[in-house]
Amino acid sequence: MSMNIHISRSMVVTTPTGIEKMIEENFDCIQTPTNISYQIINSENPIESYKNWVIENYGEDETFAIYAEDDPFGEKEPIRYSIINDGKEHNKRLNYWLQESENEGYEVEIEVW
């Protein structure tokens, strides 16, 4: 089993009744090899290192054919093509999540476990 990168956020909130509770949430990171996880965590900027690793490993554009609604088996020519880049989409979600964390006052932590 590999040791993976985990990015989480947490904050303490006070309920209307005065009880303090810890809210914790995890970002859905891509599984990283153990040696890469430690390279990332020991880098000067672990979040940026993780994002760079994602692009290096999942940043290729992939083209998918889109077929007409009445052609579910793709027997005719596609009506258009769609380009998807999983690495860029993953990093876009991470950037949004990090910005949301900052805006809402969460503390973000990156760990290996």
pLDDT digits (tens, 9 = 90+) for 70-82: 998 999 999 999 9
Place of tokens 């005719």: 76
Q: What angle do CA 23, 25, 26 make, to 5 degrees?
A: 160
Domain of 92 in residue numbering reads as 5-112
Total domains in the chain come to: 1
pTM of the entire predicted model: 0.84
Phi, psi of 76 (to 5 degrees): -105, 180
pLDDT tens for residues 9-53? 999 999 999 999 999 999 999 999 999 999 999 999 999 999 999
Spatial separation of the C-alpha atoms in residues 22 and 57, rounded to whole Å: 34
Give burial (CB, 10 Å; 0-12/13-18/19+) of 54.
Answer: buried
